[in-house]
């Protein structure tokens, strides 16, 4: 997939464009991608924006979104700077920009997509422009699950509640956190459970312990148990982080980047009276995670 920048415009071929924020790249977004992948003679292009929730509320970073779209078969990716000049474009000026700079012949947007100055544009207006300018339009209906709309805001709430199955069901993949393994206090080694520590600015799941799957740079997938929080037994305060114990693995991967995929919540974070009690609980958590993840092959479709 090619990432477009302003100096690479205009695009020299016809395109089918899906437009939106795409945080979470959930099943509603996947419908938009499907709409642009099946248009003969038009290269699929994602047009998104750099206006995001607060940094610690991101479901996926720009780089992670790019990886997902590349995996799905998108050819072009463009991230629009949502500055004053762009925000001031009229709805028609926005559409003509897609036509002139991006070669648009087809546009896919959600049923509630708003665009242009003061969000004056909607799908009804888009339909009029489609007839006027000669492009095709898919204004796709909402996708629902469990009686509610599939949306990025719903997925964020599920992740914050520790409902990883609910989030995965709406995204079509497990929520994951990527990071480079940091050298910590090595307390895990002392306890007999050496852990990989990752700090991230992404949205963190509810504090507690999770059954997780770790994907190594080689692509190898391993069962793991992961704590999200501040380790209250051994420190009074601090920024929450992600600490993972990989089951049945004794390699040295400090400094490497790994992906931690959150499968299921095991228990809430708690403070233990002693390190021995903490050690016993880690052993119990590891056994719980091992049982939940006995057959990793059943999760293949949910791992990026």
Mean pLDDT to the nearest integer, 221-250: 78
Question: Is the pLDDT at 233 greater than 50, yes or no?
Answer: no
Q: At what angle do helices 91-102 and 123-133 cross, to 10 degrees?
A: 50
pLDDT above 90 as % of the chain = 69
User: At 94, is the pLDDT very low, low, confident or very high (cuts 50, 70, 90)?
Assistant: very high
The structure's pTM equals 0.88
> Who wins on pLDDT, 58 or 138?
138
Question: Is the pLDDT at 235 greater than 70, yes or no?
Answer: no
Which secondary structure element, helix H or strand E, spans residue 104, and what is its range?
strand 104-110
Task: Convert the pLDDT of each residue in 142-184 to its tens digit.
Answer: 999 999 999 999 999 999 999 999 999 999 999 999 988 765 5
Distances (CA, A) of 279 to 50, 165, 172, 209, 272: 44, 27, 35, 14, 10
Q: Is 178 helix (H, G, I), strand (E, B) or coil?
A: strand
Cα 130 from chain centre: 31
Q: Could you tell me where in the chain the CATH 2.40.30.30 domains are found?
A: 172-302
CATH number for the region 2-145 comes to 3.40.50.620
Q: Which pLDDT does position 191 carry in this prediction? A: 43
Question: Is the pLDDT at 283 greater than 70, yes or no?
Answer: yes
Whole-angstrom distance, CA of residue 229 vs CA of residue 243: 8
Task: Convert the pLDDT of each residue in 19-41 to its tens digit.
Answer: 999 999 999 999 999 999 989 99
Question: Is the pLDDT at 234 greater than 90, yes or no?
Answer: no
Tokens of 27: 């099943």
CATH number for the region 172-302 comes to 2.40.30.30
Q: Which pLDDT does position 188 carry in this prediction? A: 47
Tokens of 48: 């998104």
Whole-angstrom distance, CA of residue 287 vs CA of residue 290: 5
Q: Could you tell me where in the chain the CATH 3.40.50.620 domains are found?
A: 2-145
């Amino acid at each position: 997939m090619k990432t477009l920048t302003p100096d690479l415009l205009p695009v020299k071929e016809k395109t089918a464009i899906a437009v939106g924020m795409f945080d979470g790249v959930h099943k509603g977004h996947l419908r938009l991608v499907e709409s642009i992948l099946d248009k003969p003679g038009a290269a699929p292009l994602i047009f998104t924006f750099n206006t995001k929730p607060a940094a610690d509320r991101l479901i996926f970073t720009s780089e992670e979104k790019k990886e997902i779209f590349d995996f799905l078969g998108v050819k072009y990716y463009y991230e629009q700077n949502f500055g004053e000049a762009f925000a001031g474009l009229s709805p028609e000026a926005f559409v003509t920009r897609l036509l002139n700079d991006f070669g648009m012949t087809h546009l896919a947007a959600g049923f509630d997509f708003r665009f242009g100055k003061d969000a004056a544009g909607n799908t009804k207006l888009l339909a009029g422009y489609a007839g006027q300018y000669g492009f095709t339009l898919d204004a796709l209906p909402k996708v629902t699950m469990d009686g509610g709309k599939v949306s990025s805001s719903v997925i964020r709430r599920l992740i914050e509640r520790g409902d990883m199955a609910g989030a995965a069901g709406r995204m079509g993949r497990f929520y994951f956190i990527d990071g480079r393994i940091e050298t910590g206090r090595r307390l895990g080694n002392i306890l007999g459970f050496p852990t990989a520590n990752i700090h991230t600015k992404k949205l963190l799941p509810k504090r507690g312990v999770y059954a997780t799957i770790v994907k190594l740079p080689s692509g190898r997938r391993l069962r793991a148990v992961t704590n999200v929080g501040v380790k209250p037994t051994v420190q009074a305060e601090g920024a929450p982080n992600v600490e993972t114990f990989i089951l049945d693995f004794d390699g040295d991967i400090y400094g490497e980047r790994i992906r931690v995929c959150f499968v299921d919540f095991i228990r809430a974070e708690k403070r233990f009276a002693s390190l021995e009690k903490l050690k016993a609980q880690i052993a119990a958590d590891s056994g719980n995670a091992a049982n939940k993840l006995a057959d990793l092959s059943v999760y293949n479709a949910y791992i990026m």
